[in-house]
A and B are shown apart, each in its own frame.
Chain A
Amino acid sequence: MRHQRWFTPWVLVIPALTWLLVFNLWPSVNTVILSFTNAKPLGGGTFVGLKNFETLLHDEQLRWALLNSVIYMVVCLPFLTVLPLLLAVLVEKKLPGITFFRTAFYTPVVASAVVVALIWQWILDDRGLVNGLAEKLGVISGPLPFLSDQWLLLLSAISLTIWKGLGYYMIIYLAALGNVGRELHEAAAVDGAGPLRRFVHVTIPGVRGTMILISILISVSALRVFSELFILSGGKGGPGGRDNSVVMLIQQYSQGFEGNLGYASALSIVLFFVTVVPMLVLARINRRGAEA
Chain B
Amino acid sequence: MRRRRPAVVAMLAAAALTLAGCGLGSEDSGGSGGAKPTVDANAQVTGEVSFQTWALKPKFTSYVEGVIKAFEAKYPGTKVTWLDQPGDGYDKKVLSQASAGQLPDVTNLPPDFALSLAKQNMLLDVAAADPKIKDEYVEGGVQAYQYQGMDGTFGYPWYLNTDIDYWNATKFAAAGLDVKNPPKTFDELLAAAKTMHDKTGGKEYLMSRLPGIGDFTNAGVKILSDDGKKFVFNTPEAAALLDKYRDAYKAGYMPRDILTNEYLGNSKLFTQGKVAWTTGGGNAIQDFNKDNPSLKGKVVPSPALDTPPLYVQGLSVSAKTKNQAAAIALARFVTNAENQAAFAKIVNIFPSTKASASDPYFSKSDGTPESDAKVLAFESLAKAKVLQPPVISGATNDFIGQQISLAIAGKISSQAALDAAVAKANQLLTQ
**Partner of B405 from A36, A41, A147, A239 at Cβ < 8 Å:** A239
Shortest distance between the CB of A250 and any CB in chain B (Å): 11
Q: B331-372: contact bitstring with A at CB < 8 Å (1 yes, 0 no)?
A: 000000000000000000000000000000000000000000
The answer to whether B76 has its CB under 8 Å from any CB of chain A is no
Flag if A29 contacts B16 (CB, 8 Å). Answer: yes
Q: A42-B99, A257-B116 are in contact. Are A47 and B257 (CB under 8 A)?
A: no
The answer to whether A106 has its CB under 8 Å from any CB of chain B is no
Q: Can you spell out 10 A-B residue pairs with CB atoms less than 8 angstroms apart?
A: A33-B17, A60-B420, A126-B255, A233-B260, A235-B263, A236-B261, A257-B94, A258-B393, A258-B394, A258-B395
A241 to B26, CA, bound (A): 33
Stretch at the interface among B127-135, B143-151, B163-171, B396-404: B396-404
Chain A 53-67 residues near chain B, CB threshold 8 A: 55, 60-61
Given A36-B16, A233-B260, 7 additional A-B pairs, CB 8 A? A38-B431, A42-B122, A55-B427, A234-B263, A240-B403, A257-B115, A258-B396
**Partner of B257 from A126, A252, A253, A256 at Cβ < 8 Å:** A126
Shortest distance between the CB of A139 and any CB in chain B (Å): 18
A240 to B408, CA, bound (A): 10
A279 to B262, CA, bound (A): 36
The answer to whether B21 has its CB under 8 Å from any CB of chain A is yes
Q: Which residues of A contact B402 (CB under 8 A)?
A: 61, 236-237, 239-242
Shortest distance between the CB of B338 and any CB in chain A (Å): 32
Q: Which residues of B contact A18 (CB under 8 A)?
A: none
Flag if A239 contacts B16 (CB, 8 Å). Answer: no
Shortest distance between the CB of A43 and any CB in chain B (Å): 5
The answer to whether B25 has its CB under 8 Å from any CB of chain A is yes
The answer to whether A105 has its CB under 8 Å from any CB of chain B is no
Secondary structure call for the B interface = helix
Flag if A147 contacts B122 (CB, 8 Å). Answer: no
Q: A143-B256, A239-B411 are in contact. Are A44 and B120 (CB under 8 A)?
A: yes
Flag if A239 contacts B406 (CB, 8 Å). Answer: yes
Q: A123-153: contact bitstring with B at CB < 8 Å (1 yes, 0 no)?
A: 0011000000000000000010101100000
The answer to whether A84 has its CB under 8 Å from any CB of chain B is no
Flag if A47 contacts B21 (CB, 8 Å). Answer: yes
Looking across the interface, which residue of chain B has its beta carbon closest to that of A29? B16
The answer to whether A108 has its CB under 8 Å from any CB of chain B is no
Q: B240-282: contact bitstring with A at CB < 8 Å (1 yes, 0 no)?
A: 0000000000000001110111110000000000000000000
Shortest distance between the CB of A65 and any CB in chain B (Å): 12
Q: Which residues of B contact A282 (CB under 8 A)?
A: none
Flag if B91 contacts A252 (CB, 8 Å). Answer: no
Q: Which residues of A contact B427 (CB under 8 A)?
A: 55
A55 to B428, CA, bound (A): 11
The answer to whether A99 has its CB under 8 Å from any CB of chain B is no
Flag if A42 contacts B98 (CB, 8 Å). Answer: yes
**Partner of A262 from B260, B395, B431 at Cβ < 8 Å:** B431
Q: Which residues of B contact A147 (CB under 8 A)?
A: 257, 260
The answer to whether A77 has its CB under 8 Å from any CB of chain B is no
Interface size class of B (residues with CB under 8 A): 35 or more
**Partner of A256 from B16, B256, B394, B409 at Cβ < 8 Å:** B394
Flag if A32 contacts B116 (CB, 8 Å). Answer: no
Q: A42-B116, A234-B260 are in contact. Are A47 and B20 (CB under 8 A)?
A: yes
Q: Which residues of B contact A219 (CB under 8 A)?
A: none
Flag if B20 contacts A36 (CB, 8 Å). Answer: yes
Flag if A257 contacts B401 (CB, 8 Å). Answer: no
Flag if B406 contacts A240 (CB, 8 Å). Answer: yes
Q: Which residues of B contact A165 (CB under 8 A)?
A: none
Flag if A125 contacts B99 (CB, 8 Å). Answer: no
Flag if B23 contacts A33 (CB, 8 Å). Answer: yes
Q: Which residues of B contact A239 (CB under 8 A)?
A: 259-260, 402, 405-406, 409, 411
Flag if B431 contacts A260 (CB, 8 Å). Answer: yes
Q: Which residues of B contact A238 (CB under 8 A)?
A: 259-260
Which of B23, B115, B396, B411 gathers the greatest number of chain A CB atoms within 10 Å? Answer: B23
Shortest distance between the CB of A140 and any CB in chain B (Å): 13
The answer to whether B27 has its CB under 8 Å from any CB of chain A is yes
The answer to whether B95 has its CB under 8 Å from any CB of chain A is yes
The answer to whether A158 has its CB under 8 Å from any CB of chain B is no
Q: Which residues of B contact A44 (CB under 8 A)?
A: 24-28, 120
**Partner of B91 from A237, A240, A257 at Cβ < 8 Å:** A257
Q: Which residues of A contact B405 (CB under 8 A)?
A: 236, 239-240
Q: A221-259: contact bitstring with B at CB < 8 Å (1 yes, 0 no)?
A: 000000000000111111111100000000011011111
Q: Which residues of B contact A262 (CB under 8 A)?
A: 431
The answer to whether A80 has its CB under 8 Å from any CB of chain B is no
Q: Which residues of B contact A236 (CB under 8 A)?
A: 260-261, 398, 401-402, 405
Shortest distance between the CB of B85 and any CB in chain A (Å): 15
Chain A 142-191 residues near chain B, CB threshold 8 A: 143, 145, 147-148
Flag if B395 contacts A260 (CB, 8 Å). Answer: yes
The answer to whether B75 has its CB under 8 Å from any CB of chain A is no
Looking across the interface, which residue of chain A has its beta carbon closest to that of B411? A240
The answer to whether B113 has its CB under 8 Å from any CB of chain A is yes
Q: Which residues of B contact A257 (CB under 8 A)?
A: 91, 94-95, 112-113, 115-117, 393
Q: A42-B95, A234-B262 are in contact. Are A241 and B399 (CB under 8 A)?
A: yes
Looking across the interface, which residue of chain A has its beta carbon closest to that of B404? A240
Q: Which residues of A contact B7 (CB under 8 A)?
A: none
Q: Which residues of B contact A258 (CB under 8 A)?
A: 116, 393-396, 428
Q: Which residues of A contact B98 (CB under 8 A)?
A: 42
The answer to whether A268 has its CB under 8 Å from any CB of chain B is no
Q: A29-B16, A253-B395, A256-B395 are in contact. Are A42 and B411 (CB under 8 A)?
A: no
The answer to whether A39 has its CB under 8 Å from any CB of chain B is yes
Looking across the interface, which residue of chain A has its beta carbon closest to that of B424? A61
A112 to B405, CA, bound (A): 30
The answer to whether A263 has its CB under 8 Å from any CB of chain B is yes
Q: Which residues of A contact B1 (CB under 8 A)?
A: none
Shortest distance between the CB of B21 and any CB in chain A (Å): 5
**Partner of B99 from A41, A45, A148 at Cβ < 8 Å:** A41
Q: Which residues of B contact A45 (CB under 8 A)?
A: 24-25, 27
Q: Which residues of A contact B263 (CB under 8 A)?
A: 234-235
Flag if A41 contacts B95 (CB, 8 Å). Answer: yes
Looking across the interface, which residue of chain A has its beta carbon closest to that of B261? A236
The answer to whether A37 has its CB under 8 Å from any CB of chain B is yes
